[in-house]
Chains A and B, each alone.
Chain A
Amino acid sequence: MMKVLQVKHLQKVFFPGTDNERHVLKNINLQVNNGDFISVIGNNGAGKSTLLNTIAGTLRADAGEIDLASHNVSKKSVAYRSRWMSRVFQDPKMGTAGDLTVMQNLVLAQSHTSTTNLKWYQKKGDIEEYQELLKILNMGLENFMNTQVKYLSGGQRQALSLLMATLSKPKLLLLDEHTAALDPKTSHEVMKITDAMVKREHLTTMMITHKMSDALKYGNRLIMVQDGQIKLDVSGIEKDNLDTAQLLEKFEA
């Protein structure tokens, strides 16, 4: 099985040497295989967001190694890592540029390598292509190509972020509680779109979620992070047989 991400002996300590010292990631080892759809769960402060941020490059690992698509990216910038990785943030405002139009946002997400290109960013026929893609979301966004994204609703923005994250055909998709800021109905819709897209594009995905039901329902693998360590890592049938009660029990342990 080809591996997309390999995390070795990852350590992260916040505020070292002070009274507030917190060892957030304690020697984390994780291998993500091609095609995995992993739900990551854990208490607040368990370290799951820190883990995701360290993988994405927003935070630097204090020790350990991160190999992404066979490249050691431990000390590389967010922008460099984005060649193989896309991310959807928790806050719908984070994943899109509000002052730019839907079209411009899509162009930005299309290629993560030609960002300083001196060619026109908008070519004939592009609009139709993007409109076709937006129709998949079923949110009517295809009629708002030239609308600034800040005028869209949270759900529309998050659905757009999700589509944008898939445009560059990433080897790894990171979803950081991407439905947490939405109302239950929209959250449910965005989750459905997520699942459909992941399946359609065969995306390798890591999804942080606080919703046990989503964690159990979606994906082929489940990871529980507790106290800076991976306490549970199940996949396949073993995961399918889990239920909410069992999961809660493990939380207590």
Chain B
Amino acid sequence: MLISSLGQGLLWAPLAIGVFITFRILNIPDLTTEGSFPFGAAVAVSLMLKGQSAIVVSLAGFIAGCLAGLVTGILDTKLHIPSLLAGILTMTGLYSINMHIMGKSNVPLLNEKVLTEYLPVGWSLDIQTIVLGVIVTGIVVTLLYLMFKTRLGLSLMATGNNKDMSAANGINTDGMIIFGYMISNGFIALSGALIAQSNGYADIGMGIGTIVIGLASVLVGEIFLRGHNILTRLIAMIVGAIVYRLLLTVAMELGFPPDDLKILSAVILVIVICVPIIQNRIRTKRQLKKYLEQMEDNDDEGITGETSTESILSRD
């Protein structure tokens, strides 16, 4: 049980990382996720049935996601459609596109060689999934970590943090936002392509609830690993995705029917949003009490101990 949720969690990790890029770095809740995830799956499975190799179709899934992000990015920055609506529009449009790609609502793989089958045959499926997951998330995290160390990555972070300041310092903020949408949805679609190969099918409905899964993973990850170092934050996303899978597996073991998993996901998201807020309040109260008892003459410390309830959803 633990082993299988570890493997599954690793395959879902690129989704968490993708959501992290828009939600945390760009400060945009991007609903394109719900469309780009099945888009990646649909592209991968369809190409696979046409005889393409598993590696090619996974990369194609990534590129498909980038295109979906490009559309949302243009709707947002160039046509000035509010980002939430821009995501909904792309997601809705992608439903039709996914249906066209797949031809029907569920397309199973036949005997095509999926990514895990490139690994030694002697290993069990769970081990294969874990090794594959480690390789893929390893590549994703390494690439992103290196990217965030370049001036390009710094410009991306600055744009998400302070758009006016970034523009005043010469950054093409529209371009940066579009770029962020693209890589974010690219990783989300990559996750879709991996999950489709792992499940052995692509389904038109597999995107439903992915934004909730992604956000929950981001928040769960941040509960476990906090820090403003970019590598820590990326690894936190992987941890979040794994812990989240584990929570779902536990729920299944407890006898929750699969149909109830969506509401469970929503409840988990509500909990992981609330827990840090309550934690912060308790901590602040305790520190304030301690501070007032001491009544030292240093005025500054009381201010830094205070954390607003908004801090969990916005990084300000």
> Measuring CB to CB, which residues of chain A are less than 8 angstroms from any residue of chain B?
56, 58, 77-79, 82-83, 86-87, 89, 93-100, 104, 107-109, 111-122, 148, 150-151, 164, 168
- How many residue pairs bridge A and B at CB < 8 Å? 100
Stretch at the interface among B3-11, B167-175, B181-189: B167-175
Chain A at the B interface: SS class = loop
Q: A79–B58 Cα gap in the complex (Å)?
A: 36
> Measuring CB to CB, which residues of chain B are less than 8 angstroms from any residue of chain A?
149-155, 157-158, 161-162, 164-173, 175, 228, 304, 315-316
Q: A79–B68 Cα gap in the complex (Å)?
A: 26
Which residues of chain B are near A82, meaning CB under 8 Å?
167-170
**Closest partner residue, chain B, to A120 (CB atom):** B149
**Closest partner residue, chain B, to A56 (CB atom):** B168
Decide: A108 and B166 in contact? CB cutoff 8 A: yes
Contact of A94 with B165 at beta-carbon distance under 8 Å, contacts A79-B173, A99-B228, A148-B228 already known:
yes
Question: Which of B155, B157, B162, B170 contacts A83 (CB under 8 A)?
Answer: B170
Decide: B167 and A78 in contact? CB cutoff 8 A: yes
Q: A168–B304 Cα gap in the complex (Å)?
A: 33
Which residues of chain A are near B151, meaning CB under 8 Å?
107, 114-121
Contact of A99 with B157 at beta-carbon distance under 8 Å, contacts A94-B164, A119-B151 already known:
yes
Q: A79-B170, A89-B165, A115-B151 are in contact. List 15 more A-B contacts (CB 8 A).
A: A94-B165, A95-B165, A98-B162, A98-B316, A99-B315, A111-B170, A114-B151, A115-B152, A116-B151, A116-B155, A117-B152, A119-B150, A122-B149, A148-B228, A164-B169
A-B contacts, 26 of them at CB < 8 A, read A77-B172, A78-B167, A79-B170, A79-B171, A79-B172, A79-B173, A86-B168, A89-B164, A94-B162, A95-B165, A95-B168, A98-B162, A98-B316, A99-B157, A99-B316, A104-B157, A107-B154, A108-B154, A111-B170, A114-B151, A115-B151, A115-B152, A116-B152, A117-B151, A121-B154, A151-B304
Which residues of chain B are near A111, meaning CB under 8 Å?
170
Question: Which of B150, B161, B164, B173 contacts A100 (CB under 8 A)?
Answer: B161
